[in-house]
Structure 1
Amino acid sequence: MRLTVKDNNTPKVSVVMAAYRTEQRYFEESISSILRQTEGDFEFIIVDDGLSSENRDYLRSLHDDRITVLVNDCNIGQSRSVNKAFGVVRGSYIFRMDSDDVSLPDRLKEQIAYMDQNPSLVACGAYARVLGGKRVLPGKHASRNAWLASMFFSNEMIHPTMCLRADVVKQGRVRYDESILYSQDYMMWVNLMEHGDVGIAPDVVLEYRVHEGQITNKKNVEQRRCALRAQLRLFEDSGIHLDGSLAEAHFGLVNALPDDRSSIDEYLRFVHEQSKVLGKDLRSCFLRYRQDSCALSDSP
């Protein structure tokens, strides 16, 4: 089912949101934050993947011709829902938005300006302030290479700040990986990095909600294994093939698991020898994770 109200003009921006069982007050605040953007030339595609009747009533009450609602017949998950929206986007830029976060008023304008100033980028993220506090994510890095190196160990991007050039989607080059249950955002960033440069705009553009029950707070083995797939793909893209004991050593290092230190040392030597472009920055990341891992292993 598709409910749509729009004119025939092609918008500059397509904002995409997939929504499931979001608390109503968070959902309304999130929707309103997009509708109040200072850059008004956008379409807002919302995929209803199992919203409550109250949230559906709220959407019906909005009389804004920039809104398109796609209603799934059943719950199909965020990745499939967003890919479904990707099939109908019309803008030159695509912005991702989660259904419980708040975009600051100048978000679209600031990230568009950053992309226009950096035409080599296929996508960018930006900074987000954790709601209810002063903490800003992601952490700052000394250089672009230091940030790139950190991506081999953890997802250093705040997913609902994603802005990408629509061409890479319209040409069918990137989609969310529907085969994994967790860390789809991590894999999406890796996918984008395979098609061009990715950057981080210098602005705080989002208020990021962290709450109990959020998918990214479920620290389970499956989630970490999905993240490992993204990390190993980054290594492959850099010409470094990790498998077997080397992949397990990386997994243990990243997750600060009790380890066979000889296998960790073998892994470090191998990657140091193979790495060229990011050698110094990768070594810095290795040392940080190695120290954390050793500290945990040595603790009583």
Structure 2
Amino acid sequence: MPAPKLSVLLPVYNAERFLAQAIDSILQQTFAHFELLLLDDCSTDRSAEIIRSYSDPRIRYYRNEQNMGISATLNRGISLAASPLIARMDADDISYPSRLEKQLAYLQAHPDCALLSCWVRVITEEGELVRIDDFKPEYYYYNLTFECWMYHPSIVFRKAAAEQIGGYTVPYSEDFELFWQFSRRFKVHNLPEILMDYRISPQSLHQVQKKPEYDLAQHQQVLRNIRYYMGSTYRLSYSQIECLRHNPTPLLQEGSLHLMVECLQKLAVITKAIEQRDNPNRDPAAIRKAAYFKRRHILLAFARNLPYRKSVLLLAKSREWGLLYFLVHSFIKRRLKL
């Protein structure tokens, strides 16, 4: 049998509810020359039984001798993969039929790209739409400094590049760490097309089961990422880091306009450092645009949650005259209607 052109890594741990749907979505791909590595991390439910019910020759089933956790399980999968290209998949998600074909075609046409993701539909357990994060591909590099912008099961990457960065190296927020390390040394990209459904469920480690651990790990990673550009002694408060992670609540609770303005000023300095740092993904114009939208998003979050007078003062201090005009105009219209 010829070597597969793509290896799909699908880790499994007590995933009986949606596992068959996830496996079927891979086996029914329009691109067929792949191997599907099902990596069972000592499940205690019917996961093994479901896997053994399949007879497709492309499936390779491995069960860990003891529970190893997601990072060690995926590293085992990388070492077992027979293809130089590796796709990720999770046991509760659904890949659209053309996903692997389209991602493989992009990577073959762009040999300098080492990591590729795609847009997803975020859905509930029942399959209802939650949101679609259809961000522009050119904004991913900048925003990966502050947040995990890629969905883990949506990625395809080059095995050799993953081995060069050491694979998965942390127990929590392992995907964010992997993407960050890829983006430091290799070209990364997002395919601007919805190619999978990403399900939020009680089995989601980062959403439910290990949320405090993942939140802490991501907070620490963001500080590390910023210091990569700004130096190891660069200081940010907990609230400011959270704000840059799209969580303005701690800064709003402190209620200090000075700290809010200072956070925006620090964002501008960090952006300049990112823009100037050599990197295979560096595009100064795209970085500036991504930073503009990030700043605007933060200011709108502040303005919507602050009392009117404080919102006006914040926008004035930040010299955001367009947003200030909109805020005052909206306030006057509401008053005239009373």
- Range of TM-score over shorter length: 0.7 to 0.9
- Superposed counterparts of 1:256-271, under 5 Å: 256=248, 257=250, 258-259=253-254, 260-271=256-267
- Structure 1 residue 158, shift from structure 2 partner: 1.5
- Structure 1 residue 215, shift from structure 2 partner: 2.1
Superposed CA offset, 1:251-294 (max 9, x none):
23132212344344334323423533234532431342243246
Distance 1:126 1:136, change over 3 A: farther
TM-score, normalised by the number of residues in structure 1 = 0.84
Q: What residue is the counterpart of 2:207 in the other structure?
A: 217
Question: Does 2:237 match 1:228?
Answer: no
Is the Cα–Cα contact under 8 Å of residues 47 and 81 in structure 1 kept in the other structure?
A: yes
The alignment covers a number of residue pairs equal to 285
Q: Return the alpha-carbon distance in structure 2 between the equivalents of residues 242 and 25 of structure 1.
A: 45
In structure 1, what residue type is equivalent to 2:168? Y
Q: Please, which moves more after superposition, 262-271 or 54-63?
A: 262-271
Distance 1:250 1:118, change over 3 A: farther
In structure 1, what residue type is equivalent to 2:221? A
Superposed CA offset, 1:3-50 (max 9, x none):
xxxx4x32110100111011x241011111111112111111111102
Distance 1:221 1:175, change over 3 A: same
Aligned with 1:10: secondary structure?
A: coil
Select the residue among 149, 159, 163 that pairs with 2:142: 149
Q: Return the alpha-carbon distance in structure 2 between the equivalents of residues 208 and 270 of structure 1.
A: 34
Q: Return the alpha-carbon distance in structure 2 between the equivalents of residues 272 and 65 of structure 1.
A: 54
Structure holding more helix per residue: 2
Is the Cα–Cα contact under 8 Å of residues 117 and 154 in structure 2 kept in the other structure?
A: yes
Q: What residue is the counterpart of 2:325 in the other structure?
A: none
Is the Cα–Cα contact under 8 Å of residues 9 and 88 in structure 2 kept in the other structure?
A: yes
Q: What residue is the counterpart of 1:3 in the other structure?
A: none
Q: Return the alpha-carbon distance in structure 1 between the equivalents of residues 7 and 290 of structure 2.
A: 36
* Structure 1 vs Structure 2 CA RMSD: 2.6
Q: What residue is the counterpart of 1:58 in the other structure?
A: 50
Superposed CA offset, 1:71-90 (max 9, x none):
11221111110011111111
Question: Does 2:163 match 1:191?
Answer: no
In structure 1, what residue type is equivalent to 2:141? L
Select the residue among 46, 60, 67 that pairs with 1:68: 60
Question: Does 2:125 match 1:116?
Answer: no
Q: Please, which moves more after superposition, 215-224 or 105-114?
A: 215-224
Distance 1:222 1:59, change over 3 A: closer
TM-score, normalised by the number of residues in structure 2 = 0.75
- Structure 1 residue 70, shift from structure 2 partner: 1.7
Is the Cα–Cα contact under 8 Å of residues 15 and 97 in structure 1 kept in the other structure?
A: yes
Question: Does 2:93 match 1:101?
Answer: yes
Higher relative contact order (CA 8 A, sep 6+): 1
Distance 1:114 1:233, change over 3 A: farther
In structure 2, what residue type is equivalent to 1:90? A
- Structure 1 residue 203, shift from structure 2 partner: 2.3
In structure 2, what residue type is equivalent to 1:282? A
Q: Return the alpha-carbon distance in structure 2 between the equivalents of residues 220 and 97 of structure 1.
A: 21
- Structure 1 residue 135, shift from structure 2 partner: 5.2
Q: What residue is the counterpart of 1:292 in the other structure?
A: 301
Q: Please, which moves more after superposition, 98-107 or 59-68?
A: 59-68
In structure 2, what residue type is equivalent to 1:137? I
Distance 1:292 1:116, change over 3 A: same
Instruction: Name stretches of at least 5 consecutive residues in structure 2 with no aligned partner.
Output: 276-286, 309-338
